[in-house]
Amino acid sequence: MELASAKAVVSGGASGLGFATAERVIAAGGHAVLFDVNDEQGDKSAAELGESALYLHTDVADEAAVRESAQKAAEFMGGISLAVNCAGVLMPGRALGKDGPMPAEKFAKAVQVNLIGSFIVAKEAAALMQQNDANDDGERGVIISTASIAAFEGQIGQAAYSASKGGVVGMMLPLAREFAGIGIRVNTIAPGIFLTPMIAQLPEEIQQSLGAQIPFPSRLGKPAEYAELVASIYGNPMINGETIRLDGAIRMQPT
């Protein structure tokens, strides 16, 4: 599929990996709708991207809200051909912390946003993608969710986050197999340590320390590099049912 004609919805699109993805799509000539809950940043980001972008306040954990936003996005762009899940929360904490056992609500929040939210966006986007005309390969759309290397090497304090991201990896293949019949590909990207707004708030010495842990290149990942992988997946019809690590060969230690 050609990125120049992409009609993308990007959750978590106001900043970080999501914004970089929307920026890449629009730079190629496509359109993008940003789903986020940060209205101030969302409006600012959409304005920066120009007339080919739209921001919609959307809580990905709210099924009705996602369905409504997906419909509005399809009306704005004339359909949806790409959905990228970048919305997420960390919810760090030990199962047995200094204040006692972790509240189950905290664990559930990570699952609700990271896993269930990704599922909601995926299935609502697919419901609209199936209405698209197929290209010569029979393709109608592409769905890409964001997992994490924590899905495979979760550190101490990442039980909730790792479980939610492991679920994102686990649901990808069943969705890819199900949606194959309607010409929709489903893939997952598992990023390592990237320079997102959250990481950017850390002191410079900590950022450098994190980057030094990556074998090569020994630096933090750039959001534009994530966006470039999205573009590659979108353009290559044989990439389907895959989880692709984007991590500079890092393998996380327990702490």
Active site members: 161
DSSP per position, 69-84 = HHHHHHHHHTS--EEE
In this structure, what token pair is assigned to residue 91? 């919810």
DSSP per position, 49-115 = H-TTEEEEE--TT-HHHHHHHHHHHHHHHTS--EEEE---------TEETTEEPPHHHHHHHIIIII
Q: Indicate if the alpha-carbon torsion angle 110, 114, 116, 120 is positive or negative.
A: positive
What per-residue string of b and e applies to 160-179 under the rule 16 or more CB within 10 Å gives b?
Answer: bbbbbbbbbbebbbebbeeb
The conformation of residue 255, written as its DSSP 8-state character, comes to -
Distance (Å, rounded) from C-alpha 188 to C-alpha 88?
14
